[in-house]
Amino acid sequence: MRLENKVAIVTGASSGMGAAIAERFAEEGASVVVIARRKERLQSLVDRIAAGGGKAIAVAGDVTRDEDVENVVKTTVREFGKLDIVVNNAGLLDRFVPVAELDDDLWNAVIDVNLTGPMRMFRAAIPEMEKAGGGSFVTIASVGGLQGSRAGPAYTASKHGVIGLAKNVAYMYAKKGIRSNIIAPGAVRTEIGAGQEANEGGAAVCMAGMGTNPRMGEAEEIASVALFLVSDEAGFVNGATVVADAGWTAY
């Protein structure tokens, strides 16, 4: 019960890594508030957590909307009395569209979810963490935030940017007991690209290195990393980018 008496928000929790993180946190004793756009998927997650003896509530919302972000933070504090942990997990792919073919709508959509969304969560959550005497953020980035062509330009730029943002928060608020760390997963089996038609030329370039990938990861493996980073065991870990990719970027 490493998160006993802790209260956590997990964004993008309707499936994949977000759902796995929420379930793992609840198993470890946290009260979890899950937010995503698909309320019915969230309710299924909450029901699974409750069946396992955990505590969770669902809040439908979109990290691109200030009012939704503010609402989930207010709801968390109202229901559970405080806020200790935030996992910035919500993400959007860019279909590997090369920059010469990229339109403003796709660029803005990806940046809004992947970079501005976490900024909104930092902005709304930090005052509540300060009241609680500290807290912990984990931001899910990507090896695409460390390398140049693991995805298209919009996704790549957003993940490079969010790593810098999360590191800035780490140092800015370290003396207030707030930690901010990053996970950079490699290829993980999730639904993030489901239903999206990839740009054929861009995908051919970006996927060329998949043959060097030792293996795919599972959402539960990322959840284990997140659990460590938000736990007291990681009290001296702040501003770190933890790569979880089976060694892919070591090649």
Domain boundaries, the chain: 7-250
Question: Could you please report the per-residue DSSP string of 71-127?
Answer: HHHHHHHHHHS---EEEE------TT--GGG--HHHHHHHHIIIIIHHHHHHHHHHH
Q: Against a cut of 0.75, is the pTM above it? A: yes
* Annotation: CATH topology of 7-250: Rossmann fold (3.40.50)
Q: What is the pLDDT of residues 168-187, one digit of tens each?
A: 999 999 999 999 999 999 99
More confident residue, 41 or 180: 180
**pLDDT band at 24; cut points 50, 70, 90:** very high
Question: 69-84 pLDDT, tens per residue?
Answer: 999 999 999 999 999 9
Where b means 16+ CB within 10 Å and e means fewer, 170-180 reads beebeeeebbb
171 catalytic residue (yes or no): no
